[in-house]
Amino acid sequence: MSGEKLTPSSGASSGSVDVVKGINGLDKVVLRDPRGSSAEVYLYGAHVTSWKNDHGEELLFVSNKAIFKPPKPIRGGIPICFPQFSNLGPLDGHGFARIRFWSIDNSPPPLQTNTSSKTFVDLILKPSEEDARVWPHSYEYRLRVALGPAGELSLTSRVRNTNADGKPFSFTFAYHTYFSVSDISEVRVEGLETLDYLDNLQHRERFTEQGDALTFESEVDKIYLSTPTKIAILDHEKKRTFVVRKEGLPDAVVWNPWDK
């Protein structure tokens, strides 16, 4: 495998960050923690396509029909929806960030984080002329993808308004994470009970969730409003729990298309 090393990986406790060629020759960054966990991020879309725990088990779902061919979005992993989530605006669904080539930012502004991870990469997206025609704002979007010592994956987004006249802009945004689970009938989501949601399958009508943890019996596509900072996805068959922690992102979408 040929590649570029971004940080020296000397010493047993430090991780490694390498840039290598992925599917169809697209560049990807591979983060590895010495305890065995890893993550992969394609520069195309700043798209995390793999996250493995220290047993080498894949934790993200990527469709076997996923096409790694620009300008198609990659189906699975963690697509970045920016500057528009879904069809909540005039742009194509989920905006353009997931179908743009991002760059590695070797000297990002300092970032205060609550993890001690040294295994990370900073990616940056700036507007292209083509994007400026449909979304006329000047910005710098920085994404840090970090792998923590316990194998935890964290994504931190920073969007800076670089409009010359300081004119504000607004956007909608989501990390559209596809978690890998076993049999969906064995899965429960905790933390969203009793909350209000907009049902995408019913013209975004507003309903209130009942008191029990969520289970799945058919297609689900709901936007939960004002959700807690911690949501858990329990997979009984795999005996595995994903704990999703978030800051600054009030809503949470639960989507299961049922048919792959």
Ligand X SMILES: O=P(O)(O)OC[C@H]1O[C@H](O)[C@H](O)[C@@H](O)[C@@H]1O
The residues that touch ligand X, with contacts defined as CB under 6 A, are 73, 86, 93-94, 176, 200, 221, 253, 255
Peptide bond preceding 8: is omega within 30 degrees of 0, i.e. cis? no
Nearest approach, Cβ of 94 to ligand X (angstroms)?
5
In the chain, the amino acid numbered 206 is R
Q: Least distance (Å) from ligand X to the CB of residue 239?
A: 27
φ, ψ dihedrals at 211, nearest 5°: -80, -10
Contact (CB, 8 A) for 229 and 249: no
Question: Given the complex with ligand X, which of 43 and 220 has the nearer CB atom?
Answer: 220
Q: Which is nearer to ligand X, 121 or 174 (CB)?
A: 174
Please identify, using beta-carbon distances, which residue of 49 and 86 lies nearer to ligand X: 86
Residue type, 255: W
Q: Which is nearer to ligand X, 98 or 144 (CB)?
A: 98
Q: Find the shortest distance in angstroms from Cβ 200 to ligand X.
A: 5
Q: Read off the tokens for 41.
A: 């991020």
Beta bridge partners of 40: 30, 50
Q: Closest distance between ligand X and the C-beta of residue 224, in Å?
A: 11
Between 165 and 259, CB nearer to ligand X? 259
Shortest separation between residue 79's beta carbon and ligand X, angstroms: 6
Q: Which residues contact 107 (CB under 8 A, 6 or more apart)?
A: none
- CA–CA gap between residue 180 and residue 153 (Å, rounded): 14
The CB-nearest residue to ligand X is 255
| DSSP β-bridge partners for residue 241 | 234
